[in-house]
Structure 1
Amino acid sequence: MNLAVVLVSPKTPGNIGAAARAMLNMGARDLRIVAPRCYVLDPQALAMAVHAADLLRSARVYPTLREALADRDVSVGTSARIRADLPAPRHPSQVRPLVRAASAPALVFGPEETGLINSDLEQCQVTVRVPTGDYASLNLAQAVLLVCYEFLQAQDEAPAYDRKTATREEMEAMYGHLHETMQLIGYTDAVRARHTLRLWRAMLDRALMSSAESRLFRGFLRQVTWKVEDAAKRGTVSGRQATEQDAPGE
């Protein structure tokens, strides 16, 4: 499986190295690190990686999560908390068919102290939570090991879906276009826009759009924009004509 593991803003070199080792244990080899707060190849990281040192050295570093997920078609966030306006985390086994059928899935893990913030989880189609006891906080490497195990153990299962979905970059571009269109037609305002867009994201991500379908939706948005702008121009022209007709003659 072409599975990427994305670590968002990790703080401790040892945790990065241990996460790389956990990936190697489970057979995942694509490590992506977003805005790290330490040196990725610190001696402590290499020591904790043990035999996964080469995997760690090949890790790619990105400035933003959006760039790290750009070529992925399914992204799965991890969280132990319920967030307002965002779908509740699901058991990994419930999400396994979706990940198994994806061409380029990604698992996203947040910083050690806080986990993923809401703006990170918005970029994931689904969120999972590893079942634990009352104390739900897992070490970063433990979380990577458990979630990778949940998905990579199922490689022999038949996929539940049989079509390629749009990449996250295509979907993020579509959501940006949707946001602009909603503001243009007065569907939302600056105060309500984020909440409204989260609801649309949740609904459209469930649709698992293909690239062609995302382009189709953006074509609809372009037509809406054109109609609104054309109507505004016509209104301006009509207003000018009325002014000229009402103006007293020389």
Structure 2
Amino acid sequence: MNLAVVLVSPKTPGNVGAAARAMLNMGAGDLRIVAPRCDVLDSQAVAMAVHAADLLRSARVYPTLQEALADRDVSVGTTARLRADLPAPRHPAQVRPLVRAAAAPALVFGPEETGLINSDLEQCQVSIRIPTGDYASLNLAQAVLLVCYEFLQAQDDVPEWTRKTATREEMEAMYGHLHETMHLIGYTDAVRARHTLRLWRSMLDRALMSSAESRLFRGLLRQVQWKVADAAARGTAAPRPAPPNEDPGE
């Protein structure tokens, strides 16, 4: 499986090295690191990686999570708690068929102290929570080991179908286009836009669009934008904002 493990802003070199070792244990070989706060090739990281030192050295570093996920078709975020406006995290086993059917899935892990923030989880189609006892705090490498096991080594029926979905780069471009169009037609405003777009993301991510479907949707948005511009040029119509007491995202 072409599985990528993405570490967002890790703080401790030893944790990065231990995460690489956990990946090698489970058969994952694509490590991606977003905006690290440490030297990921520090001697402590190399020492903790043990036989995964080569995997650690081949890790790619990205300035943003969006760039790290650009070529992925399914991204799975990890979280230990419920978030407002975001779908509840699921058990890893429930997500296993989705990941195994993907062409280029990614697992996303947050900083050691805080985990992923909401804007990170918004870029993931689904989130998972590792079931634990009352003490739910896992070391970064422990989390990587457990989730990689679920998706790479745990036994499961082979998915009956495979489907190549749009990359995150394509989906993020579509969401940016949708955001522009919502403002253009007065569907939302600056205050409500983030909440509204989250709801649209949640719905459209569940659809697991193909590249062609994302282009089809953007074609509709382009037609809306053209129609508004044409009407404005003719002086026949002007977009009006939504009524102040109405939330189009609800």
Deviation track 1:161-206 (CA, whole Å, cap 9, x = no partner) reads 4210000000000000000000000000000000000000000000
TM-score normalised by the chain length of structure 1: 0.93
The corresponding residue for 2:44 is: 44
Deviation at 1:214, TM superposition (A): 0.1
Q: What letter matches 2:64 in structure 1?
A: T
CA distance in 2 between partners of 1:159 and 1:32 (Å): 26
The corresponding residue for 2:139 is: 139
2:231 is paired with a residue of what secondary structure?
helix
CA distance in 2 between partners of 1:161 and 1:125 (Å): 19
Segments of structure 2 that go 5 or more residues without pairing to the other structure are 238-250
Q: What letter matches 1:178 in structure 2?
A: L
Q: What letter matches 2:70 in structure 1?
A: A
Pairwise mapping of residues 17-166 of structure 1 onto structure 2 (< 5 A)? 17-154=17-154, 157-166=157-166
CA distance in 2 between partners of 1:160 and 1:196 (Å): 35
Deviation at 1:154, TM superposition (A): 4.5
Is the contact between residue 98 and residue 161 of structure 1 (CA under 8 Å) also seen in structure 2?
Answer: no
TM-score normalised by the chain length of structure 2: 0.93
CA distance in 2 between partners of 1:86 and 1:139 (Å): 24
Is the contact between residue 100 and residue 154 of structure 1 (CA under 8 Å) also seen in structure 2?
Answer: no
The corresponding residue for 1:247 is: none
Deviation at 1:135, TM superposition (A): 1.2
Segments of structure 1 that go 5 or more residues without pairing to the other structure are 238-250
The corresponding residue for 1:209 is: 209
Deviation track 1:92-111 (CA, whole Å, cap 9, x = no partner) reads 00000000000000000000
Deviation track 1:80-120 (CA, whole Å, cap 9, x = no partner) reads 01000000000000000000000000000000000000000
CA distance in 1 between partners of 2:236 and 2:203 (Å): 37
Stretches (4+) displaced over 3 A: 154-157
The corresponding residue for 2:244 is: none
Q: What letter matches 1:43 in structure 2?
A: S
The corresponding residue for 1:9 is: 9
1:157 is paired with a residue of what secondary structure?
coil
2:235 is paired with a residue of what secondary structure?
helix
Flag the structure with larger Rg. Answer: 1
Q: What letter matches 1:65 in structure 2?
A: L
Is the contact between residue 20 and residue 56 of structure 1 (CA under 8 Å) also seen in structure 2?
Answer: yes
The corresponding residue for 1:220 is: 220
Q: Which has the higher helix share?
A: 1
Deviation at 1:159, TM superposition (A): 1.7
Count residues with an aligned counterpart.
237
